[in-house]
Structure 1
Amino acid sequence: MKCIILATSLALILAAGSVTAGDRPISDCGERILDDGYPMERHTVTTEDGYILTMHRIPYSPKTGDDGNRPVAFLMHGMLSSSSDWVLMGPNKALAYILSDAGYDVWMGNARGNTYSKKHKYWPTYWQLFWNFSWHEIGIYDVPNMIDYVLEETGESQVQYVGHSQGTTVYLVMMSERPKYNDKIKSAHLLGPAAYMGNMKSPLTRAFAPILGQPNAIVELCGSMEFMPSNQFKQDLGIEMCQATSPFIELCANEIFLIGGYDTEQLDPELIEHIKATSPAGASVNQNIHFCQEYNSKRFRKFDYSIVRNPYEYGTMYPPNYKLKNAKAPVLLYYGANDWMCDVSDVRQLRDELPNMQLDYLVPFAKWAHLDFIWGTEAKKYVYDKVLEEMEQYE
């Protein structure tokens, strides 16, 4: 079967044309930033549990020059994504560039296991031990350690936080479990906030959650592994099949829509091959399982290992809920009516439980979907301008 799939994939590449260096979209976030004319720095952070993470930084905008100390904006991507998503749409459209042009020192994090964070002090990626994490560990280790590094490097005392999808989940985990980090946040802007997931409409998650979202004794027996890794072959195949002139372009678009909701008006066909050059960026199977558990349980709670391990981990038969009452820094919610991952009713349940909820912003575009927050052609008009306006209130 694998041989048949490989042969078919090669045939599709040949049918679509060969990948040439001159036409190939830039797959590396840092190279893309430099190609767009912005300064770029790479920084590495080692977490308390040994994962080595890479961050990308845009210290200043070429439109302003290096004009001294700037307030910090920290951006955190969603599941299967990376820092690339914050720059993919290019200058004047992508959030990282918009914030840089507005005077922010922009830092983009990368969670353990994605394209830019596949190193550990001791464990190689071919060991299952490397992949034994969920977004819980990203929230209690990765994000806090990256924020600490950014504050030490810049001399600032607080950051403006912007997260999308899982980037919002890990923020809430961090605040629940390490509430001292409230003091390091000026404001938190959560785009497509993913906490309560019980009413999500994504057909992929709804199909697999009844199986994958069960208390996971399988993980106990077999360990976790990498989920949807990226490699050169997959990138080449995706780039060739998903060019705007390709006969497969509608299939490529539908793959994106099936995840977050249909919105043809906000997806530029010219962008899809660039998306394929950077996504999926890889994750752990446990991250996906944890979201499936959220759908099944209709709660925002820790990973359910099954009654075998839960008492050892938590002291209870069932995993405890996250303590949303600990998220005391200002939180601003941005969500869409057509978001298949984060349903309006789920977001509003989250809203009602946050102790310092400062903005309830339903995007004024009826078809606004989950991935429009990072790839929508009018994201600046409907979301980013609002984010920038609100951020300025906390400076």
Structure 2
Amino acid sequence: MSRLGLLMGCCLLGIAEPKTFSSYFDDQIQSNHLQDLHGHGLIEDASLKVPELVRKYGYPVEVYEVTTRDDYILTMHRIPHGKDRHNTAGAQRPVVFMMHGILSSSADWVVMGPGKGLAYILAEEGFDVWLGNARGNRYSRSHRSLDPDEAGFWEFSWDEIGNIDVPTMIDHALAQTGKQQLHYIGHSQGTTSFFVMLSLQPQYNYKIISMNALAPVAYMTHSGPILLRAAAPFSNILNRLFTLIGINEVLPNSRMLREAGEQLCRDGATTQDLCDLAMFIVGWNSEQFNKTMVPVQLGHIPAGASARQLAHYGQNMRSKQFSRFHHSYLKNILIYGTIEAPLYDLSNIRAPVHLHYAAADIFTHIDDVNKLQFHIGGSAQIIRVPLESFNHFDFLWGIDAKTLVYDKVIDIMKSYDQIHEA
């Protein structure tokens, strides 16, 4: 899930009147007479890709490409050690794999900068940090035979991401580090894909030391913004319609949107408050919202996804189940051997899972989290963020995310590492 209201509004405005929009940018720059939009290089962060961004702040970074069994080429980013602490190259460290949400990328974990971005914090705490990128986002738009301009490239949902992409990247991280197990941290769809993986491939339980699910999304009976819930009953129809008219990808990374963020949402812009108001669509927490960072975030978010990923969530909302993607009755029989899309078998999940949820998160209602915990086969602990106004995106960008969430996550992971060392 992402800042859909602001993003779609900017995109629609840009598509409808590109010349007027561009002229408005020029007027804004002239009226504010700013040489540097922020005065401290933040605008540059919006245009840098993840490896460049990490290097800018003095951290080591490595880039890997892995190929899935169905020929998608995925990019992984690695921060092998810290800059100020735990900074000895080549030292043995516990491995943590991090998976982003829908319409996002590995940038989620670094965009807020050192001391704020969870990837940097984990590196300084002594972890070997691996950042995944799902098929179809800006870093994983390659395939051995298909092109992103072809409809066939986009014939996937988060079922394939969980069943194929995540295991492939986990195996690569373990092979490169010589480890047998790692920690897993996911946000939103990054948690969904984990539940998919272990439901369909329970052998991966043995490769997981611990799983920390930030804003866990599986059941969505009570969750989701009003617009998404309203569209859920028509998800199959909309998916077929989008396919017919050639809409296979939704909200790819956009230079136009980045420039819109730089001009409309920067400090000093008369339109900055409009960017704040747009947050009401997905849940706005003024207490945790750092408006200065919005232009940077819009340089990295959205990062692209398939229309089928959104349709799959809509199907689960409608059915009130956690099930595989429903194609058609005939195709379901060919793929699954059943008329209906089968339910994910959450009882197969035996690795220790920690479900971090927030009371104000419209994507993870407590009743849905409780249902998830009940169906997980192993140990699943529910942890409520101790701030009533904390919401879905505060897990990534909240001003106090470190003290409210990350410190707890690190304590949990280190407690398991102590057990393994004993």
What is the match of residue 9 of structure 2?
none
1:15 corresponds to which letter in structure 2?
A: D
What is the match of residue 14 of structure 1?
26
What is the match of residue 86 of structure 1?
109
Contact 1:197 1:294 in 2 (8 A): yes
After superposition, the C-alpha distances for 1:219-274 in whole angstroms (9 at most, x for unaligned) are 77667611111122222122221112222223223334422x22111110111111
Question: After the TM superposition, which of the residue ranges 154-163 and 303-312 deviates more from structure 2?
Answer: 303-312
Contact 1:188 1:331 in 2 (8 A): yes
Q: Hey, what's the Cα distance between the residues in 2 that align with 1:57 and 1:201?
A: 32
Contact 2:239 2:307 in 1 (8 A): no
What is the match of residue 262 of structure 1?
284
After superposition, the C-alpha distances for 1:99-130 in whole angstroms (9 at most, x for unaligned) are 11110000000000101111111111100101
Q: Let me know the Cα RMSD of the aligned residues.
A: 2.0
Q: What pairs up with 1:228-267 in 2 under 5 angstroms?
A: 228-259=251-282, 261-267=283-289
After superposition, the C-alpha distances for 1:134-188 in whole angstroms (9 at most, x for unaligned) are 0000011110000000000000111100000000000000001111111110011
> Does residue 105 of structure 2 align to residue 105 of structure 1?
no
1:376–1:316 CA distance, 2 compared to 1 (3 A): same
Question: After the TM superposition, which of the residue ranges 4-13 and 211-220 deviates more from structure 2?
Answer: 211-220
Q: Hey, what's the Cα distance between the residues in 2 that align with 1:228 and 1:120?
A: 20
- Post-superposition shift, 1:364? 0.8
Q: Hey, what's the Cα distance between the residues in 2 that align with 1:3 and 1:189?
A: 39
Question: After the TM superposition, which of the residue ranges 12-21 and 91-100 deviates more from structure 2?
Answer: 12-21
What is the match of residue 75 of structure 2?
54
SS at 1:267 equivalent: coil
Question: After the TM superposition, which of the residue ranges 209-218 and 324-333 deviates more from structure 2?
Answer: 209-218
2:295 corresponds to which letter in structure 1?
A: E
What is the match of residue 35 of structure 1?
56
Structure 1: gaps of 5 or more residues: none
Q: Hey, what's the Cα distance between the residues in 2 that align with 1:342 and 1:373?
A: 12
- Post-superposition shift, 1:194? 0.5
> Does residue 369 of structure 2 align to residue 347 of structure 1?
yes
What is the match of residue 314 of structure 2?
292
Equivalent position to 1:366, from 377, 385, 388: 388
What is the match of residue 87 of structure 2?
65
Contact 1:303 1:319 in 2 (8 A): yes
SS at 1:188 equivalent: strand
> Does residue 207 of structure 2 align to residue 184 of structure 1?
yes
Contact 1:215 1:304 in 2 (8 A): no
- Post-superposition shift, 1:17? 2.2
Contact 2:46 2:298 in 1 (8 A): no
TM-score normalised according to structure 1 size: 0.94
After superposition, the C-alpha distances for 1:267-317 in whole angstroms (9 at most, x for unaligned) are 101111111110000000000110111111111001111324222222222
1:3–1:132 CA distance, 2 compared to 1 (3 A): closer
Equivalent position to 2:405, from 373, 383, 387: 383
Q: Hey, what's the Cα distance between the residues in 2 that align with 1:54 and 1:3?
A: 30
Contact 2:156 2:308 in 1 (8 A): yes
1:348–1:137 CA distance, 2 compared to 1 (3 A): same
Contact 1:175 1:181 in 2 (8 A): yes
Question: After the TM superposition, which of the residue ranges 267-276 and 235-244 deviates more from structure 2?
Answer: 235-244
- Post-superposition shift, 1:354? 1.1
Contact 2:46 2:295 in 1 (8 A): no
